[in-house]
Amino acid sequence: MLDELVSIDRYAIDTEFHREKTYYPQLALVQISWGDRIALIDPLAIDTHRLGRLFESNALAVVHAAQQDLEVLKHSCGIAPRQIFDTQLSAGFLGYSTPSLSSLVQSEFKVLLPKADRLTDWLRRPLSPTQITYAASDVEYLLQLHDRLSERLIAQGRGEWAEQACEELRIRPYGPVDPTLAWLKIKEVRALRGRARGVAQSVAEWRERKAMASNIPPRRVISDMALLAIAQKMPNTESELLQSRGIEARQLGRNIIRELLDAVLQGVTRDQKAPINDSDDVDRDLRPAVTLISAWVSELARQHHIDVALLATRSDITALLRNQPEARLAHGWRAQIIGDDIKRLVSGQAGLSFDSRGGLRLLDTDPLARKAIEDQ
């Protein structure tokens, strides 16, 4: 089968996996379609690294909502496909808003895909007929979707936009989080300040490393509630630690208690300058600009029939306003559609007004108004 696959131009691929009880995802099934054939590959029965031959080839992998699939394949096979076409992502350039595979197939082909229990156990063997039918349907229409969407994208001059977006997805960092940044995944931590935030950062880093080493979810090491309680209490002794909410003495051994107290001490003494991150607010004087620009993004997405989340997220806007070199709005098709205009808005070279239909439109500011802005 592999000899045949590495010689073709494209194939469709999907995966089934579990990650509820482990730190690293457990690959449970790989589905591949090419031509008029569909194969279900059991990763419990073969060495999945053999699929690396396919992923290293020049064949295009057609996928749907593939961010997690790419992570799973990289972890299980050691490599992910060299080039992809994501049907969900590409559909966003044609007016769809992050469609599910079933809704996209129904919209394009008037076909209802079989439903399955989302909590089904894909690691169970043998798979049931229902599971097999559902798994096969995940790749049955992907190649047809590739044909249909590609044709429309090219007709609308958006083929290169979709290619760029798919490549962004393919090369996006995925896999284990950097333990030093694990605290950013905990929303409530961002409200902490001073030494409490430092403790949260250190304890979150310790928890992440512990979870990785034991291959268990971080929350099974200690809960988010316990982590926040420790950050606020900043215990110095075992007794103080065990009084923290969410900490169960029977779940902690002597070594864990000692490691936690060491992490607290490191947090108390660490540099309190927290790194800038996408979830922190921009400078106070730019917050009104974020609100205004978000409205403009929504208007442009409506005008261009592009998924608003694909055009620009709040993180994209704040990255551009901070002049971060890697800001997505400063490069490629996003810069053409909106990034350059945002820079004009912030500099006072352009403004927004309502049109006669209640929509927003971009206007150049007149020279006198521009001078008044510059003189302020």
Q: What's the pLDDT at 375?
A: 54
Q: What's the pLDDT at 283?
A: 63
Domains of the chain listed by start with CATH number: 2-171 (3.30.420.10), 179-269 (1.10.150.80), 284-375 (1.10.150.80)
Task: For the beta carbon of residue 209, count every other beta carbon within 10 angstroms.
Answer: 17
Q: Which residue has the tokens 């593939």?
A: 66
Q: What's the pLDDT at 86?
A: 98
Does the predicted model carry a pTM greater than 0.75?
yes
Q: What is the DSSP annotation of 10-39?
A: EEEEEEEEE-SS-SS-EEEEEEEEETTEEE
Question: What phi and psi, each to the nearest 5 degrees, are found at residue 281?
Answer: -70, 155
The greatest distance separating any two alpha carbons of the chain, rounded to the nearest whole angstrom, comes to 76
Question: What phi and psi, each to the nearest 5 degrees, are found at residue 307?
Answer: -55, 125
Q: What's the pLDDT at 359?
A: 79
Q: What's the pLDDT at 156?
A: 96
For 31-48, the pLDDT digits (tens) are 999 999 999 999 999 999
Task: Say if CB 33 and CB 43 are below 8 A apart.
Answer: no
Strand pairing class (84-86; 26-34)? unpaired
Question: Low-confidence residues of the chain, pLDDT below 70?
Answer: 271-285, 366-376
Radius of gyration of the chain (CA): 25
For 265-286, the pLDDT digits (tens) are 999 988 655 554 544 555 666 7
Task: Say if CB 342 and CB 282 are below 8 A apart.
Answer: no
Q: What's the pLDDT at 368?
A: 44
Residue 313 to residues 158, 288, 295, 329, Cα–Cα distance (Å): 20, 16, 11, 10
Task: For the beta carbon of residue 12, count every other beta carbon within 10 angstroms.
Answer: 25
Q: In sequence order, what E strands does 106-161 have?
A: none
Q: What is the DSSP annotation of 168-212?
A: HHHHS--SSPPGGGGGGG-GGGGG--HHHHHHHHHHHHHHHHHHH
**CA angle at residue 325 from 189 to 330, to 5 degrees?**
105
3 state DSSP class of 361: strand
Q: What's the pLDDT at 117?
A: 75
Distance (Å, whole) CA 1 – CA 132: 19
